[in-house]
Amino acid sequence: MKRFAIFTSALMLAACGSSTPTTPSNPNTLVFTAQLAAANERPNPITGAEANGTGSATITMNVTRDAQNNITGGTTSWTFSLAGLPAGTPIILNHIHEGDANTAGPVRINSGLTAAAPITLTNGTLTNQTFSNLTQNDTTDTGLINRIATNPGGFYFNVHSQANGGGVVRGQLVRTQ
């Protein structure tokens, strides 16, 4: 038994001396992902030429906190990629909506992209398109970022095309950090 205790103590000391300690993530940086698919669009999945649309999005929120550590605001950035859409597809909007997987909900954070200046997918794909320093649509909604942080599945990211103005691909947010 004494040998076991010495062995266990030695293992614990060795673990404490690790040259690659893990560092805690920044509590003021929240990261979410969304797996985008045309089949996820609501009220109906996309059909036709854009039905094979897929993609992914990474959303990063840099939050501010009060003295009690409550989230009081922040900015949002995102990067997304798309695939499986027809060559020449114009992307006209992208944003975060509030709503579960079966709801087409209201826009809460918008990229500012418009139909007047779309992103055209020359070959039907888009890689690492970034929008930075975005703020929420309703600045009086002081709890929005906190709601996203505590219930990411109640929000989704989607992208709209010219042919599917209500949305061509979408995915629920999942918090990763």
Cα 42 from Cα 99, distance rounded (Å): 10
Reported as a single tens digit per residue, the pLDDT across 35-57 is: 999 999 999 999 999 999 999 99
Contact, 56 vs 83, CB < 8 A? no
This prediction has a pTM of 0.84
- The per-residue pLDDT for range 91-117, each reduced to its tens digit, is 999 999 999 999 999 999 999 999 999
Given a contact cutoff of 8 angstroms between Cβ atoms, the answer to whether 175 and 31 are in contact is: yes
Q: Is 88 helix (H, G, I), strand (E, B) or coil?
A: coil
Range 26-175 classified under CATH 2.60.40: yes
Rounded to an integer, what distance in angstroms lies between the CA atom of residue 138 and that of residue 109? Answer: 9
Q: What secondary structure letter does DSSP report for 102?
A: T
